[in-house]
Structure 1
Amino acid sequence: MLDIAPLVRVHVDALLAAQIDMGVCDAIERNAPVGKPADMSAPHLPKVAGIDSTVPSPAHTTAPVPPVHPSASALPAIPGAGIQDRLAGWVSDLTPLHELTERLIKTGSLDEALREVLRAGAALVGARRGMAVLEPGDGLGPTSTIGLGLAHADLGTIETVPRSATSYGRILDGLPEPAPEPAPELDPRHREVAARLGYAASYALPLATEAAGKLGAVVWLYDEPAEPTERRRHLVGLYSRHAAEHLARLLELERARVQVATVAEELLPSRLPRVPGVQLAVRHRTGPQGGGDWYDALPLPEGALGLAVGSVSGTGPSALAAMGRLRASLRAYAVMEGEDPVAVLSDLELLLRLTEPARSATALFAYSEPKQRRLVLAGAGHTPPLIIGDHRTEFVETSLSAPLGMLACWEAPSVEIAPAAGETVLLYTDGLLRRTGDPMDRAFARLHAAAASVPRADRTDPGAIADHVLRTLLPEGLGHAVDGEDVVLLAARFE
């Protein structure tokens, strides 16, 4: 974003440019008389972060990196003293760099990593604000813009500047930097935005790796005309290369997660059916690795409705494929003999045992007659449903059974329940309980408490009930789960 002052430009020799990946530094000219050199171009005392050391640093500027150990020229000449001082300086530089890199590799998402890059880079170059733009060169996304010390409106203001007029934009577009002589005229819009946001200089670096190519760019903004010293540029260049490698790995993981989530969504119902006498709502989230949790709501003859949830063992594409086959098979069995949930699950057990003997699964199937408010259900190793109403909140007592594929012959008696008008039956997978991080008995107690605390005004809407349970049980939301657990909540409110 620097591109800000025609008379002030950092000159980097070829060797240093290779070390820092061609960082770009510019400054806005401020009251520099014609024919006289700008303050940053004229000879001056050594600077800290590009700011004249005779001028006190602004209080809001990030604390500078500890200075390199001075040479021992004032001491008597000692053989090897210069080398020792240089080694000590290298150690003092590498220590904070190692700490910043360790913090970076602990980040687990692209946005979190970009924020850490901005914070660490600001400390290394002595800036206060900055912006990181993720824009992979292959055009496959995802794209993201993260700010440091900049509000969302500030980021939008910066993006109104033509990209070719900003240093980070030229990096993203692969454009060459304009020659310093003659100095290029600053774009009027860029000058206006810089004055509005109160920055006078900036320093930009590309984010790229040899394998992944261009990933994006990062730029730090100075409140005063300034530039990072050669030592700071070298350190932030080293850091940015480590950051680019880490971002490339996170980008690959994010793309894989999105692909898995897309496949999972395509294998599940695109919409819930509308059946008189019952309202349906579902909340579903696929874990980062792609699990096998699924749900279904199938209209059946004579106004009946089949409800099902289940989970296939394993993660990844193979689990998704098995989940799709299992759900499709259950739909077929439900059409043929849905009035007998035990027969449906028995057929499913036989199919799984013959076609995928190395895999197990849990499932719960309920045959519902909404107008009569009647459900007949059976489960195979699955968590019990939960009834939520004005006068009761209780788990349905189902027969204990092993998961599908675990026994040579599976059969357990079905259970019939009759929800009252206005009551909601909540079906869910054990991923909801596992995401709490609590032991299962504690997780069940928390689920019951969350369901019991649904406000009375929300009990007329099954979607509001599901959202309340999720917010109460998982305050951090359905973000990326470390353990890759899927979550399914299927709510059916009977009128």
Structure 2
Amino acid sequence: MVPVSTHTAAPTEGIPSAPGAFIQDRLAGWVSDLTTLHELTERLAGTSTLDSALHELLVAGAALVGAARGLLVLEPADGRGPSRTIGLGLSHAELGHIETVPRSATAYGRFLDGLPDTGAPLASPDILGDPGLDPGCREVAARLGYAASYTQPLATGAAEAAGPDATARTTGRLGAAVWLYDEPAEPLERQCHLVGVYARYAAEHLTRLLELERARADAAAVAEELLPSRLPRIPGVRLAARRRAGPGAGGDWYDALPLPDNALGLAIGSVGGSGPAALAAMGRLRAGLRAYAVMEGEDPVAVLSDLELLLRMTEPSAAATALYAYCEPDRRTIVLAGAGHTPPLVTGERRTEFVETTLSAPLGMLSCWEAPSVEFTPRPGETVLFYTDGLLRRTGDTRDRAFARLHAAAAGVPKVLRQDPGAVADHVLRTVLPADGTDRSAATEDVAVLAARFD
């Protein structure tokens, strides 16, 4: 038997309740925030191009601050570029309306210009009702239908601000993101903290992608300088060239040079690898071929034999493919030889076929030269396409299917375009290469096309 007391216990006034529920709620909130940040930063880390990273940053920031629209301005402080403006839920015309507001009147413009007292995030909770804002800001906001904004600077080396009104010192301004609200609003302190942490990580990631894009642009500029600035004009033939550079700055190249007696030398080739080494090898091969073509232009086998020796002496560990053609436009004859290179394609109104060339190993892999040259005669109005192997690999198909795809593209050139070799090359590139960019690995290949139309 348990005795039951007849006394009533006194109320426990003044004793605080157990803090377990409060702590659990706070911990759950922190775990949720950390999980969200982890997922968003993982998605951002998965971006490999500057444009995709900018778009991901804008979308993730909008989710963190609870906004529906926004814009991001990339404008590095070092002035080396690139500069871009992208929008989320805003058309190009609407972005143009926003840019009509003077930069000094906008929070992102003041930050990008490096004006005093800038660098920290800035909220405008009621744009239409704030008399201190520039009238242009209120006019554009009313026209586009947003009532509040939150601006987050993007910079590397940002020091932690001592308070909400402090100015963050930055060592490298990259740009600023602005998120827009349809109604008067302001993000919570927790949201501001989350987007600030995310922005600091995003700035470091953008810096790496920015340097990578600059390096690719510099390599592409060097590659363009190594190629002919313009093609020669020879009676009886019209020339056009196209080049699609991959992100790795490979060594695909082409050349066309006038020779004595109104002859023409056409060359195309590819150096294995990518980067500065491939560009240097490409420049040496092209310069060497020009010299050998002047000395022994009528004999393509001798030209490529000399080029083989040059490659062995200067690039003993490199391999390259090349094709050289000696053309006499007045007779419409072409004598060519190739070293591991893809065969040319001749196309016209009555035929589209690959030129049968003899098989040969690439330059740098030959024990002795055994492949003779071949001669063929294009008909009046036909175009001969010389191309690099990257055109086939970019299709993402097997070798046989890639050749069939190229053949069908050349055969399907509309009649109105066959008069222009540049139009023929453009049509082939548009038809052969995947327009949706589904094959990411193949898209890294360089592509060079040289088209010669004989009258």
With the length of structure 2 as denominator, give the TM-score of the two structures. 0.88
Aligned partners of 1:288 and 1:481 also within 8 Å: no
Relative to 1, partners in 2 of residues 1:291 and 1:477: Cα closer, same or farther, differing over 3 Å? farther
2:156 to 205, 209, 212: 209
1:489 to 443, 449, 453: 449
Aligned partners of 1:280 and 1:490 also within 8 Å: yes
Q: What does 1:141-220 align with in structure 2 at a 5 Å threshold?
A: 141-177=81-117, 185-210=132-157, 213-220=172-179
2:206 pairs with 1:235: no
Aligned partners of 1:346 and 1:411 also within 8 Å: no
Separation (CA, whole Å) in 1 of partners of 2:437 and 2:391: 10
- Report deviation, 1:368: 0.4
Separation (CA, whole Å) in 1 of partners of 2:440 and 2:234: 34
Relative to 1, partners in 2 of residues 1:284 and 1:449: Cα closer, same or farther, differing over 3 Å? same
- Report deviation, 1:477: 7.7
CA deviations on 1:309-353 (whole Å, 9 max, x unpaired) are 001111111110110010000000001111100000001111111
Separation (CA, whole Å) in 2 of partners of 1:88 and 1:267: 60
Corresponding residue of 1:317: 276
Q: What is the DSSP-based 3-state SS (H/G/I as helix, E as strand, rest coil) of the residue aligned with 1:294?
A: strand
- Report deviation, 1:90: 1.2
2:293 to 328, 334, 347: 334
Supply the AA of the counterpart residue of 2:373: S
- Root-mean-square deviation (CA, aligned residues, Å) is 2.1
Separation (CA, whole Å) in 2 of partners of 1:383 and 1:396: 10
Aligned partners of 2:394 and 2:439 also within 8 Å: no
Supply the AA of the counterpart residue of 1:100: L
Supply the AA of the counterpart residue of 1:137: A
- Report deviation, 1:488: 0.2
Separation (CA, whole Å) in 1 of partners of 2:247 and 2:151: 32
User: How many residue pairs get matched?
Assistant: 418
Relative to 1, partners in 2 of residues 1:290 and 1:163: Cα closer, same or farther, differing over 3 Å? same
Aligned partners of 1:282 and 1:463 also within 8 Å: yes
Corresponding residue of 1:64: none
- Report deviation, 1:480: 11
Corresponding residue of 2:324: 365
CA deviations on 1:126-152 (whole Å, 9 max, x unpaired) are 111111001001110010000111111
- Report deviation, 1:78: 4.5
Corresponding residue of 1:82: 22
Aligned partners of 1:470 and 1:477 also within 8 Å: no
Separation (CA, whole Å) in 1 of partners of 2:256 and 2:190: 63
Supply the AA of the counterpart residue of 1:216: G
Supply the AA of the counterpart residue of 1:187: D
Separation (CA, whole Å) in 2 of partners of 1:254 and 1:196: 36
Corresponding residue of 2:346: 387
Aligned partners of 1:293 and 1:312 also within 8 Å: yes
2:262 to 303, 321, 329: 303
Supply the AA of the counterpart residue of 1:167: A
Supply the AA of the counterpart residue of 1:261: A
Corresponding residue of 2:127: none
2:68 pairs with 1:128: yes
Q: What does 1:17-36 align with in structure 2 at a 5 Å threshold?
A: none
Supply the AA of the counterpart residue of 2:69: R
Q: Which consecutive residues of structure 2, in runs of 5 or more, have no partner in the other structure?
A: 1-15, 124-129, 159-170
CA deviations on 1:454-488 (whole Å, 9 max, x unpaired) are 11211111111111111111142899964631110
- Identity in percent: 75
CA deviations on 1:426-451 (whole Å, 9 max, x unpaired) are 00001111111222222111111111
Corresponding residue of 1:445: 404
- Report deviation, 1:207: 1.0
Corresponding residue of 2:366: 407
Supply the AA of the counterpart residue of 1:193: V
Separation (CA, whole Å) in 2 of partners of 1:477 and 1:227: 40
Aligned partners of 1:428 and 1:488 also within 8 Å: yes
Aligned partners of 2:396 and 2:439 also within 8 Å: no
Separation (CA, whole Å) in 1 of partners of 2:417 and 2:436: 19
Relative to 1, partners in 2 of residues 1:477 and 1:387: Cα closer, same or farther, differing over 3 Å? farther
Corresponding residue of 1:94: 34
- Report deviation, 1:79: 6.0
Q: What does 1:460-479 align with in structure 2 at a 5 Å threshold?
A: 460-476=419-435
Separation (CA, whole Å) in 1 of partners of 2:66 and 2:221: 42
Relative to 1, partners in 2 of residues 1:480 and 1:169: Cα closer, same or farther, differing over 3 Å? farther
Corresponding residue of 1:117: 57
1:222 to 155, 161, 181: 181
Separation (CA, whole Å) in 1 of partners of 2:104 and 2:431: 48
